[in-house]
Amino acid sequence: MQAPASLSSELKSVAAEQGFAALGIAPAVTPTGFHQLLQWLQQGYQGEMSWMQSRAELRRHPESLLSGCRSVLMAAVNYSDGAELCGGPRISRYAWGSEDYHTVLKRRLAPVAAHLRTALPSCRTRVVVDSAPLLERDFGRLAGLGWFGRNTMLISRGFGSWFFLAAVLTDAELVCDEAEERNYCGTCTRCLDECPTDAFPEAGVLDARRCISYLTIELRDRSVPRELREGIGGWLFGCDVCQEVCPWNRFAPLECLPEFTGRRWNVSAERVPVEILRMTATDFQQVFGGTALERTGRDVMRRNAAIVLGNLRQLEGDAELLVALRDDSPLVRSAAGWALCRRGGAVGLAAVREQLEREPSAEVAVDLRLSLSERGES
């Protein structure tokens, strides 16, 4: 038996009280995006994210997460406060907060699930975020929250694309919202045109292997491909370019939950790469522990910092790069050598040549040799 429409309204009110911009309800089905996901995986666009392939079948239907699932409540919450950063070192807006968004979303969505169980004591619920194998953007569209932009993001006419998605799965049959069937991008292709690394082989398809977010967050076991390092620019963690250029984000709210605005680290943007390179394991945990930035690990963040210093050569950082050139991590050594060669100082070039003579990793040695060669050094 379907629950009364009034319950759906009550759930939306509870979500609003918890700070969510919108809550829509979709039927638990196999979304069309599942078959598109399989095609995407066949193209190898997932790169080294092997978990996407191994867990693909779990995304076929929400029943894999909650047996008997009949309804999916999709909640959206804004994460951008509208603040603008300089053109220097940057971190994706979703990671600015003092607390990991996964924790925040689960905590704030729990009262919605609790209200549903109170109204329907026999029903079961499960709160999930993007760490669960759910095609949340597909269900966001089915719940009427928005449409897919050419950059693959879910876009809302009311609040753009600066929002997180989270879901409550339930075996209760709820009154659902109408799916968003229209696309309001028109002829705009700004997101495709402005991508620094040409990560979109076609509209609506992302080659993660070229995406800056993938390169700075998900690619953890090897160096960033040389041909993509310059395109990373000042991005230390993630990338927002395809959202920043989207006209619909002019309508995004200029406020967000306090958990997404707090900062733990009072360091000027220009100093961030240097301070990251200096971090001990303890420092890294104290600053980034419990935040979205913790996910990459210290070595990957320091690799990213070195690449940024190689791109933003006006920033201080030579001394830190010289130390990083002798780091225990091959990822850090490769990136530091590349950055020093890009910066071009005599001391830095000499240090790279010296490191090449004693470099224990054949892979790093090849990278250092190429970096020197690009500077006309042997």
Q: Left, alpha or beta for 359 (phi > 0: left; psi -120 to 50: alpha)?
A: beta
Q: What is the pLDDT of residue 378?
A: 67
The string of DSSP codes covering 2-39 is PPPHHHHHHHHHHHHHTT-SEEEEEE----THHHHHHH
Residues with pLDDT less than 70, the chain: 1, 83-87, 262-267, 378
Number of domain units in the chain: 2
Same domain, 25 and 133: yes
- The boundaries of the domain holding residue 152 are 5-80+98-170
In a domain, 240, yes or no: no
Q: Indicate the length of the chain as a whole number.
A: 378
Which residues contact residue 19 at a Cβ distance below 8 angstroms, ignoring those fewer than 6 apart?
77, 108, 257
Torsion of CA 200, 205, 209, 214, to 10 degrees: 100
Catalytic residues: 130
Is residue 156 located within the same domain as residue 11? yes
**Does some domain include residue 93?**
no
Convert the pLDDT of each residue in 256-294 to its tens digit.
888 887 665 666 778 899 999 999 999 999 999 988 899
Residue 247 belongs to a domain = no
Structure tokens of 288? 């980034």
> Which of 170, 192, 209 is the last residue in one of the domains?
170
In a domain, residue 327? The reply is yes
- 187 belongs to a structural domain: no
The answer to the question of residue 141 being in a domain is yes
Q: Is residue 213 part of a domain?
A: no
User: In terms of domains, do 165 and 274 share one?
Assistant: no
Interatomic CA distance for residues 188 and 160, integer angstroms: 15
Write down the pLDDT at residue 242.
98
**Domain presence at residue 34:** yes
Domain boundary among the residues 170, 198, 215 is at 170
pLDDT at 263: 64
Residues 162 and 278 both lie in one domain: no
Angstrom distance (rounded) from CA 298 to CA 279: 8
How would you label 288-327 residue by residue, b for 16+ Cβ within 10 Å and e otherwise? beebbbbbbbbbbbbbbbbbbbbbbeebebbebbbebbeb
Please state whether beta strands 125-128 and 90-91 pair in parallel, antiparallel, or not at all (unpaired). Answer: unpaired
CA 161 – CA 163 distance, rounded (Å): 6
Last residue of a domain, one of 150, 170, 190: 170
* pLDDT value for 178: 97
156 & 289 share domain:
no
